Amino acid sequence: MANGPVLVVDFGAQYAQLIARRVREAGVYSELVPHSMPVDEILAKDPKAIILSGGPASVFEPGAPTIDTKVFESGVPVLGICYGFQVMAYELGGKVDKAALGEYGKTSATIDDAAGILADSPAEQTTWMSHGVAVEQAPAGFEVLAHTEGAPVAAMADESRKLYGVQWHPEVKHSPLGQKLIENFLHRCAALPNDWDASSIIEDQVKKIREQVGDAEVICGLSGGVDSAVAAALVHKAIGDQLTCVFVDQGLLRKNEGDEVEAVFGPDGDYDLNFIRVNAQDRFYEKLAGVEEPEKKRKIIGEEFIRVFEQEAKKVGAVDFLVQGTIYPDVVESGLGGESAVIKSHHNVGGLPDFVDFKEIIEPLRDLFKDEVRKAGLELGIPEKLVFRQPFPGPGLGIRIIGEVTADKVRIVQDADFIYRSEVDKAVAEYKKANGKAPAWMPNQYFAALTNMRSVGVMGDERTYDYAVALRAVNTIDFMTAESAEIPFEVLQTVMSRIINEVRGVNRVFYDLTSKPPGTIEFE
């Protein structure tokens, strides 16, 4: 790789992944490495620059994570952020101490020298801080570039050694000039060109997959989701019809979704590959009969999926490689890529392959963030409609139906969800047309779920005793926290009346106001 990687050394920061993202946004390829990786190993990766992330420790506490000072003598430009900045200052002989005044949140920084990482900065910058330890004195050879009330040295540089440090978090949007600081470091200080984007990875991966696979056979499980679709399209670009895609329709997909996936990847679609669609709806419904507990449902659906996939894989014969749509956040969240805590063991990482003898797994999207995956998907010719799908849980509608799952309940939730999504999309499009921008209430995820509640209603002159549908819509950036979206009442009313009129078996519609936490985004 001519350009990069820039390695982000993760000291356990909440934001380490975000730093890698911001670097990529600046057109430079970036990856995370744990701070426990020996410096020789880090340098062997031939990094074009290194960024030391923040972290929760205090540098002067015994056992606090640090980095071998060799890294500062390597000639590779280094930027320390927050804790990483303190590590740099401490290890190089600066004075680091408990801050007389800790700073948390929005903080004004005074720029003493608008040069290097702070080139073109105004005299004051709003920054976002989170520190109770401060660098009181920069190490010898460093110039102080900025200070704040609580941080006598808030930014520093030693141009001759290409070492830079900053106390605030340039990677978060609350530091409005943060991206500029990162770009200054990459483009000015480290002289790296802005020439990487997600599509660069396609050619690299195609080459790699061809070398890895040779003329062997490859199998891929398509879920209808974005990641597996893009992974399949990428592998197809590399090896054409050596690829077999197995698409299991478990009867828990969104309305028309099975056919939409088939239209793209099936025999009449855009790719010349072996496509096997397994219509396993009845099998799944049978297994789910009488089961009410959500975790149990998840388990049954997951296991049954593996069983169906296994059967199909066996029919295909000897298959050496399995494609998985693992993406970068899955790798990091599973604690494999960095130092941050294991947040969840992800279904995409190491999920499927225990059951059949595959020689190797191919994970062509392992280095990409979600929006980069989408970009690569468009580049690979996958229709926008598929690429910009909303997140959809692996167990599908099985967990958007409270209580027992039956074919009839699946029909209800599919139809209600279809109406809801169409009406929201329509209202958003109309707003955009009239105002030239998206409405503030535009949800990041919205779907209908089926409660397990039936109640009395009246339709025409008849008494009804039918189900209540719940509508969910949330505004969220990272899907870790979320607020209920303020969809205009008239849109909700239209949805309500269409669902009750058009979907047999429903006589009430609720709107879910719960934020996350305490709720979750899914309604299971």
Q: Which is nearer to ligand XMP, 158 or 257 (CB)?
A: 257
Give 322-390 as a 3 state SS string: EECCCCHHHHHHCCCCCCCCCCCCCCCCCCCHHHCCCCEEECCCCCCCHHHHHHHHHHCCCCHHHHCCC
Residue number with CB closer to ligand XMP (286 or 295): 295
Can you give 32-52 as a three-state secondary structure string?
Answer: EEECCCCHHHHHHCCCCEEEE
- Helix (H) / strand (E) element for 420: namely helix 407-435
Q: How far is 209 from 236, CA to CA, in rounded Å?
A: 10
**Contacts to ligand XMP by CB under 6 A:** 347, 391, 393-395, 445, 479, 516, 520-522
What are residue 411's phi and psi, to 5 degrees?
Answer: -55, -45
Q: Closest distance between ligand XMP and the C-beta of residue 1, in Å?
A: 30
Q: For the CB of residue 393, give the shortest distance to ligand XMP in the complex, in Å.
A: 3
**Residue 116, burial from CB neighbour count under 10 angstroms (0-12, 13-18, 19+):** buried
By beta-carbon proximity to ligand XMP, the closer residue of 126 and 444 is 444
Nearer to ligand XMP, 262 or 333 (CB): 333
CB of 427 to ligand XMP, least distance (A): 21
Q: Based on CB atoms, which residue is closest to ligand XMP, 149 or 522?
A: 522
Our CB check for ligand XMP shows the closer of 241 and 292 to be 292
Q: How far is the CB of 115 from ligand XMP (least distance, A)?
A: 43
| Least distance (Å) between residue 423 CB and ligand XMP | 20
Q: Is 438 exposed, middle or buried (0-12, 13-18, 19+ CB in 10 A)?
A: exposed
- Nearer CB in complex with ligand XMP: 207/299: 299
Q: How far apart are CA 98 and CA 185, in angstroms?
A: 27
Does the N-terminal peptide bond of residue 5 adopt cis geometry, omega within 30 degrees of 0?
yes
| Distance of alpha carbon 484 from alpha carbon 482, whole angstroms | 7
Q: How far apart are CA 434 and CA 426, in angstroms?
A: 12
Query: Measured from the CB of residue 499, what is the shortest distance to ligand XMP in angstroms?
Result: 21
Q: Active site residue: 35, 82, 189, 312, which one?
A: 82
In the complex, minimum distance from the CB of residue 508 to ligand XMP, in angstroms, rounded to a whole number: 23
Residues 6+ apart with CB under 8 A from 511: 470, 471, 484, 487, 492
Sequence-separated (6 or more) residues with CB below 8 Å from residue 443: 424, 473, 474, 475, 485, 487
Is 169 among the residues known to form the active site? yes
Is beta strand 163-166 parallel, antiparallel or unpaired with respect to 155-158? antiparallel
Of these residues, 31, 91, 103, 171, which one is catalytic?
171
Length of the chain: 524
- Terminal-residue alpha carbon distance, the chain: 44
Query: If you search the block for the tokens 């190089």, which residue do you land on?
Result: 92
Q: Please, which residue, 94 or 395, has the CB nearer to ligand XMP? A: 395
CB of 389 to ligand XMP, least distance (A): 11
Q: Check 35, 131, 147, 169 and give the catalytic one.
A: 169
Where in the sequence numbering do the catalytic residues fall? 82, 169, 171
